[in-house]
Amino acid sequence: MNKRKSRPAAPGGVKELEKRLGYGFQNKNLLRQALTHRSYVFENEGRELRHNESLEFLGDAVLGFLVSARVFLRYPDLSEGELSKIKARLVSAENLAKFAEAIGLGEFILMSRGEEKTGGRRKRTIIADAYEAVLGAVYLDGGADAASECLSCQITAFFEDIDIRELTSADFKSALQERLHDLGRSEPFYRVVDEIGPDHLKTFVIQVDADGEMLAKASGGTKKEAQQAAARLALDNL
């Protein structure tokens, strides 16, 4: 991602943001409200300004619906729990901040001088909330299809960059056991084949077998960590 110099949002900047979003607003005031942080309204008391928190509320709901639909259509065979894990990662503040950073959203947000001096344009909560607010504004201005189109590119990139199996199976040992069961094989057996280093800094080497066959071998700072690493490698090898 290219680094962009932070600068205050300005009327001329709205066109640039629209270009990055791939959407042109009919009602520019909706976009300006989406970009207005509460601190800016407080700093400019007396002016008729509205901050973006109500649009953030709407955007959160729109985001949840659109992401749920995308995840379901892409992975129709996953369980409800697995789909929920993928959705949770997609709509997390950490991930939304990445979406916001990808379009340089921080540089367009209207905020107080004090907030800006303390790095407000890079604060995860501020830019993630603004991203939701912008999505809510797009929905109000152009409908669900327009909002979905704005999300499309970034969600596609998200799916390309993550390991779905890792995301949906935090417990690799359980996932391996289920996989072997589906294949009609025996349960996995884990054993310590080596211990390296002094007691206070020991590394354990674990081998996992099934039906008398070695599936994988991995190391870790604890036996549990090494077992999980071995199970993950075994899943890759099956």
**pLDDT tens column, 115-144:** 999 998 989 889 999 999 999 999 999 999
Whole-number percent of the chain with pLDDT over 70: 92
Rounded CA-CA distance 103/23 in Å is: 13
CB 203 within 8 A of CB 197: yes
In the structure, what pLDDT confidence band is assigned to residue 34 with cuts at 50, 70 and 90?
very high
Q: Residue 220: what pLDDT?
A: 87
Rounded CA-CA distance 158/210 in Å is: 34
Q: Is 77 helix (H, G, I), strand (E, B) or coil?
A: coil
Q: Residue 206: what pLDDT?
A: 95
CB 95 within 8 A of CB 89: yes
Lowest mean pLDDT among 18-27, 109-118, 185-194, 195-204: 195-204
Is 209 catalytic? The answer is: no
Q: Spell out the residues 6+ positions from residue 94 whose beta carbon is closer than 8 angstroms to its own.
A: 124, 128
Annotated active-site residue in 53, 60, 107, 225: 60
Alpha helices (H) along the chain: 11-21, 28-34, 38-43, 53-74, 80-90, 93-102, 113-117, 124-142, 144-161, 164-168, 172-182, 223-237
Segment 55-108, tens digit of pLDDT: 999 999 999 999 999 999 999 988 877 788 788 888 888 889 999 999 999 999
Q: Tell whether the model's pLDDT for residue 52 goes beyond 80.
A: yes
Strands 189-196 and 203-210, how do they pair? antiparallel
Q: What is the mean pLDDT of the chain?
A: 87
Q: Tell whether the model's pLDDT for residue 3 goes beyond 50.
A: no
Q: Tell whether the model's pLDDT for residue 42 goes beyond 80.
A: yes
Q: Tell whether the model's pLDDT for residue 213 goes beyond 80.
A: yes
Q: Residue 191: what pLDDT?
A: 95
Mean pLDDT score, 18-33: 94
For the chain, what's the residue count?
A: 238
Q: Tell whether the model's pLDDT for residue 225 goes beyond 90.
A: no
Q: Tell whether the model's pLDDT for residue 178 goes beyond 60.
A: yes
Q: Tell whether the model's pLDDT for residue 171 goes beyond 80.
A: no
Q: What is the DSSP string of 17-71?
A: HHHHHT---SSHHHHHHHTB-HHHHHHTTTS----SHHHHHHHHHHHHHHHHHHH
In the structure, what pLDDT confidence band is assigned to residue 169 with cuts at 50, 70 and 90?
low
Is 60 catalytic? The answer is: yes
CB 121 within 8 A of CB 127: yes
Q: Residue 190: what pLDDT?
A: 96
- 120 CB neighbour count, 10 Å cutoff: 21
CB 140 within 8 A of CB 58: yes
Q: What are phi and psi of 204, to 5 degrees?
A: -100, 135
Annotated active-site residue in 101, 116, 132, 141: 132
For each of the domains in the chain, give its residue range(s) and CATH number, in order of start.
11-164 (1.10.1520.10), 172-237 (3.30.160.20)
Q: Tell whether the model's pLDDT for residue 210 goes beyond 90.
A: yes
Q: Residue 222: what pLDDT?
A: 87
Residue 195 is inside which H or E element, if any?
strand 189-196
Mean pLDDT score, 14-18: 90
Whole-number percent of the chain with pLDDT over 90: 57
